[in-house]
Each structure stands twice: as structure tokens, then as C-alpha cells.
Structure 1
């Protein structure tokens, strides 16, 4: 379990730390994708499903959610 969580935590920290120089839309899309991928991977792990599939789907949904959130905040 620790072998799986450590890379996920490090990847999330690097993704969120890489937001320097980005506009708000890019930051929210990237952070939403990173958080979604981590959540999807964790859900796949806990349910006994496909971890990589959960990460891919979660990342896509998280990125879309971050983008949509940013667009609604601008109005």
C-alpha cells in the first residue's frame, strides 16, 4: 500500500508545485486533474478495480471539473 501511495503523493505535489507562471484557468484545470487522478486511483485500489483506469477517468473528470469551475467563477 505504501509503495502505491508514495508515488501518487509525490506526483500530486509536483503537479501542484508546477503551477508557477500559469493563469487561473490552467492552474485549476491542472490541479483538478491531479486531484481527480489521485482520487480515481485510490478508489480503484480500495474497490479492487483497475487502478490505472480509475486514475485516467478521475484525471479527466477532475480536469474538466477544474475548467468548468473556473469558467463559472468568471461570470
Structure 2
């Protein structure tokens, strides 16, 4: 898999994790986002010690806006 965003192999190196408000809560498919960093770390809540994708602030904002506008149908 090729990504244009950097990753961190260990999501526990960041603090301030919270569940994304757009994650599905009932079945455990949750993303967590860490606030207060120069980049926006995002990880799978089922694997907190796993990798985190590091988005630029602009990249994360564009992604969230696309989700809000239905660009990724279920």
C-alpha cells in the first residue's frame, strides 16, 4: 500500500487520543484522533499500540469535510 502521508509505527507515542465522532460506535470500528500535535495522528482504536497515520492539518480538514459532504458512501 502506498501512502502520501507519513506514519508512526507506535501510536502510543502520542497523547490526547479521542474517538472520532464519525466512527461507528456499536461494532467497534472506531478511529481515534490525537489533539495538540503539529500533525493529526489517526489510529485504529482496536490497536492502540499499532501504527498511526499522520495527516497534515489541511489534509485532515479536507478529509473531514469530504466525509461530512458524503464523498465516501457506506
Greater Rg, structure 1 or structure 2? 1
- The structure whose residues are more often strand, as a share, is 2
Q: TM-score over 0.5 for the alignment?
A: no
- The structure whose residues are more often helix, as a share, is 1
